[in-house]
Amino acid sequence: MEEHELFSLLDSAGDAAFVVDRSGLIRYWSPKAAELLGFRKEQVLLKNCAQVLAGKDEAGADVCCRDCRVLELASQRGQVAAYDFHAATASGQRRWVNVSILVARPNRGRSILVVHLMRDAERRKQTEMVTRDILVGVGRLTGIEADRILERGVPSPPAVDLTTQEKTILRLLSLGRNPNAIAEQLHISRATVRNHIQHILGKLDCHTRLDAVLRAVRERLI
């Protein structure tokens, strides 16, 4: 997949998106990212993402920094678990967002592009924080730690029975490989790859490859 093809695909993604290179410079900023955080693309392109987003965690510690751990893990492993952070916005107000990470290698090159898919998590995060404060108070009265109380109420995600080959194909899709490249790499026919992709979409109840990769990353299926 070429760089412009990736950016065109992200233009139609359901989530807000931005893309950085290995050094953290923003190479792409979607219209939905502008809508979510208020920054126009001309304000952020070729700027360091840590400088723009200044993300922090619940304790106020920096999540976004020059030596970004997310970029390091993406470079080393090709995947990073989804996470929340408190992002800066153009208005000066901060907003909680949830982020999923995908790694692309345009033109099968050695360089990588790290795709950040963002969704608004403000209401959920505020509810979680209020709930945790309440549970901490309950814990003081009962002697049960808040984390243990929270664990009891977390439902397990529905099991998805993906085969080893389907997981491999999903992982390659998350790295920006197209079906032809996957067929070549796995030494199978293009028709077989297409069949696997259709099975994956059915099992994950997704309509597009991007949606399937996004769900797999969110639920740590790959």
CATH code of the domain containing 190: 1.10.10.10
Residue 139 and residue 179 share a domain:
no
Whether residue 222 lies inside any domain: the answer is: no
Q: Are residues 189 and 106 in the same domain?
A: no
Which two three-digit tokens encode residue 152? 């009891």
The answer to whether residues 108 and 205 belong to one domain is no
Is 16 found in the same domain as 75?
yes
| Domain CATH code at residue 47 | 3.30.450.20
Pair 99, 40 in one domain = yes
Rounded to 5 degrees, what are φ and ψ at 5? -70, -40
CA 41 to chain centre: 20
> In the Cβ-directed half-sphere of 99, how many Cα atoms lie within 13 Å?
27
Please determine, for residue 129, whether its predicted confidence score (pLDDT) is greater than 80. no
> 11 and 99 share a domain?
yes
Residue with more model confidence, 136 or 97:
97
For residue 172, tell me if it sits in a domain.
yes
- When the pLDDT of each residue in the chain is averaged and rounded to a whole number, the result is 84
Residue 156 has pLDDT above 60, yes or no: no
Domain that holds residue 173: 164-216
pTM: 0.64
Residue 221 lies in a domain: no
Examine the domain organization and report whether 13 and 106 are in the same domain.
yes
81-125 pLDDT, tens per residue? 788 999 999 999 999 999 998 888 877 667 889 999 999 999 888
- Residue 206 in domain: yes
7 and 116 co-located in one domain: yes
Q: Which is more confident, 31 or 78?
A: 31
31 vs 72, higher pLDDT: 31
Residue 212 shares a structural domain with residue 142: no
- In terms of domains, do 60 and 26 share one? yes
116 and 63 both lie in a single domain: yes
pLDDT for 24 equals 93
Number of domains the chain contains: 3
Q: What DSSP element (H or E) covers 55? A: none
Pairwise CA distance, residues 165 & 2, whole Å: 25
**Residue 67's pLDDT band (cuts 50, 70, 90):** confident
Q: Which residue has the higher pLDDT, 25 or 150?
A: 25
Domain boundary among 154, 172, 206: 154
Does any domain span residue 87? yes
Looking at residue 157, its pLDDT comes to 52
Clarify whether residues 11 and 114 are in a common domain: yes
